[in-house]
Structure 1
Amino acid sequence: MNLRKSVFSGSWYPSDRKACEDQIHQFIEEGKDRTVAVANPVGGIVPHAGWYFSGSIACNVIQRLARAASPDVVVVFGMHLHAGSPRYIMPEGEWETPFGPIAVDTALAGELTRRYPFELETPTRFNQDNTIELQMPFIRYFFKDARVVAMGVPPAAETLDLSRTVVSTSQDLGLKIAVIGSTDLTHYGPNYGFTAKGAGPQAVDWVRDENDRQVIDAMVRMDPEAVIRQGLSNDNACCCGAAAAAIAAGKALGAGHADELVYATSYDKSPGDSFVGYVGMLF
């Protein structure tokens, strides 16, 4: 009863340990020649589509983060929320992954729930949201001894205050943390009710070169307020609160520079009138 069972394994990513590990090895090979100018990252931004579409991006961000940091706790910000949504957290229990469970850090989660109102999830009562679960196998694989605190955070100013408190509270508890924000970018096309530039190659170019680029530029500047504004105004980040929270926490951890590891869209693998943008960032 203490284990939060996976919802998306076997469909969005492999449920079998060997298949999952083989996929991770393939992702690492795909990303081996990509470089960033961030020498010792403390955090990153990852996408959360099925692994076929964006798993390589998320894997390579998290692998590089793990090479630089050995945290006690990996803090993950995510969930598809709007500005008026509550915050969500599972303050105790474990997350199921193909590589074994990951325990929640109850000390950090407990302090946060005492300081901020949250909707409390449990291992048997929770939102079926892909944004966080799809990162858990990577976290378990690359951060073998780390615990996690995962939160759903809305795109609101209070989220940035919370993310800074995550850092100060972890320091008060003597915990070393790394932070991850989970977001996809523009969801374009009739499947998503967003066809501002019609269809075809010109729409893909607009998403890639203009709409997504605006929010990526805000991420590179490490401007969390601008990331939220972009997401709310231009529909170019489905979880802009999560991305902004990771950036604000990263700055509180001392990060002064962000860099883009890779950008891609689902159109690259499955061309069509509906597609999604993805970015991997480190800071």
Structure 2
Amino acid sequence: MTLTRKPVVAGTFYPRLEKDIIKLIDESFLDENFGIGKEFTIDNTKDGKRKVLGGISPHAGYIYSASCAAHTIQEIFREGAPDTIIILGTQHTGYYNIGIMKNGIWKTPLGELNIDSVISSDLIQESPEIIEDDSAFNGFPHGREHNIEVQLPLIQYAAKKAKKEITFVPIKIGQMEKNVLQDLGKAIANVIKKYQNKDIAIIASSDMTHYQPRNPHNPEFEINNTQKIRDQAVIDAFKEFNWEKTLTKANETTVCGPQTITTLMIAAKELGYKYAKDLKYFTSYEKMGSRTPCDYSVGYFSGIILNE
């Protein structure tokens, strides 16, 4: 029997109704201050190896972070819709393995996305660290995890524009050890190399620093001089395409996906990609109009890895 994962954060992190999701994503792309300032487009320029392997995409509520995620989605899809997207997910529920859902369907209000069972199976065979674990994504307590799910309506939106059916592979990474992440990144790269005729992209799901201003009624100085400086150190390491430095800097902060970003970078290096580029960064404080009091501010970053 095919296992179907139903949406658990529809109506909270993103709208419950299809028309409202599409409207919000449209607005996120068109946002001139935080989005790309224009409609989503596809140039269909891919010729051979994918130019943009993938990127970092935030996973907060859409009103906060979808305009940042739009930058990553646009660049991944610009040269054409991939066949499969590997989503590297973090964990917020105390999951400490590297779990993969090998078979099944994930539903959102925009429809269904099938898991690429061939790629999933090969990843399990390639790495002893990866285990097939449906419980990492379904049921209590891990089924309430949002960080992979919130990427899906954005992918479905882009796939619909491309008029293409896309599959995906969900990987929840609960491990943080450098050597484990290095092995994982290499395993992902080896599987991608195996399928030269399959267009595979990677999304690393991660928000940036989570910061609580000591003075919520006058938070701007702290956000600019503490939160943003911490995040910029991670972004600079990413732009240097130095995965070890990125992991170190991210672990010095409350970035909630050091392991997803690092795994993406390792896989990319193994595949011969040479450059990392920052696209957009802002905080939830700024996105909400810099209103006070501000008890909590989260950073959002969009960056991609490319080969030219």
- Shorter-chain TM-score: which interval? 0.7 to 0.9
In structure 1, what residue type is equivalent to 2:77? A
User: Is the Cα contact below 8 Å between 2:85 and 2:167 reproduced in 1?
Assistant: yes
**Is 105-114 or 64-73 further displaced after alignment?**
64-73
User: Is the Cα contact below 8 Å between 1:111 and 1:169 reproduced in 2?
Assistant: yes
* Offset at residue 201 of structure 1 (A): 2.2
User: Is the Cα contact below 8 Å between 1:184 and 1:276 reproduced in 2?
Assistant: yes
- Which residue number in structure 2 is paired with residue 102 of structure 1? 113
| CA deviations over 1:62-113 (Å, ceiling 9, x no partner) | 1221112432210111122699921121111011122211111111111222
**Is 68-77 or 2-11 further displaced after alignment?**
68-77
In structure 2, what residue type is equivalent to 1:120? D
* Offset at residue 216 of structure 1 (A): 0.7
Secondary structure, in 3 states, of the residue corresponding to 2:278?
Answer: strand
User: Is the Cα contact below 8 Å between 1:163 and 1:248 reproduced in 2?
Assistant: yes
Aligned counterpart in structure 1 of residue 157 of structure 2, from 121, 134, 141? 141
Secondary structure, in 3 states, of the residue corresponding to 1:25?
Answer: helix
Counterparts of 2:172 and 2:69 in 1: how far apart (Å)?
A: 18
Counterparts of 2:113 and 2:220 in 1: how far apart (Å)?
A: 42
**Is 94-103 or 265-274 further displaced after alignment?**
265-274
In structure 2, what residue type is equivalent to 1:137? P
User: Is the Cα contact below 8 Å between 2:115 and 2:167 reproduced in 1?
Assistant: yes
Counterparts of 1:5 and 1:62 in 2: how far apart (Å)?
A: 23
Counterparts of 2:68 and 2:115 in 1: how far apart (Å)?
A: 25
**Is 60-69 or 19-28 further displaced after alignment?**
60-69
In structure 2, what residue type is equivalent to 1:243? I
1:121 aligns with 2:134: yes
CA separation of 1:110/1:275 partners in 2, compared to 1, >3 Å: closer, same or farther? same
Counterparts of 1:89 and 1:33 in 2: how far apart (Å)?
A: 35
| CA deviations over 1:115-144 (Å, ceiling 9, x no partner) | 324260157445321111100111122134
Aligned counterpart in structure 1 of residue 200 of structure 2, from 163, 166, 177? 177
- Which residue number in structure 2 is paired with residue 130 of structure 1? 146
Aligned counterpart in structure 2 of residue 220 of structure 1, from 222, 230, 239? 239
- Which residue number in structure 1 is paired with residue 79 of structure 2? 68
- Which residue number in structure 2 is paired with residue 252 of structure 1? 270
Counterparts of 1:40 and 1:85 in 2: how far apart (Å)?
A: 33
TM-score, normalized by length of structure 2? 0.81
Counterparts of 2:132 and 2:11 in 1: how far apart (Å)?
A: 28
Counterparts of 1:189 and 1:71 in 2: how far apart (Å)?
A: 38
Aligned counterpart in structure 1 of residue 177 of structure 2, from 149, 153, 156? 156
In structure 1, what residue type is equivalent to 2:204? G
**Is 201-210 or 93-102 further displaced after alignment?**
201-210
CA separation of 1:33/1:256 partners in 2, compared to 1, >3 Å: closer, same or farther? farther
Q: Which runs of 4+ in 1 moved over 6 A?
A: 81-84
Aligned CA RMSD, in angstroms, stands at: 2.6
User: Is the Cα contact below 8 Å between 1:86 and 1:119 reproduced in 2?
Assistant: no
- Which residue number in structure 2 is paired with residue 186 of structure 1? 209
Aligned counterpart in structure 2 of residue 242 of structure 1, from 260, 269, 277? 260
Work out the percentage of aligned pairs sharing the same amino acid: 28
Q: Please list every run of 5 or more consecutive structure 2 residues that lacks an aligned counterpart in the other structure.
A: 39-49
Secondary structure, in 3 states, of the residue corresponding to 1:127?
Answer: helix
TM-score, normalized by length of structure 1? 0.87
* Offset at residue 260 of structure 1 (A): 1.2
Secondary structure, in 3 states, of the residue corresponding to 2:275?
Answer: coil
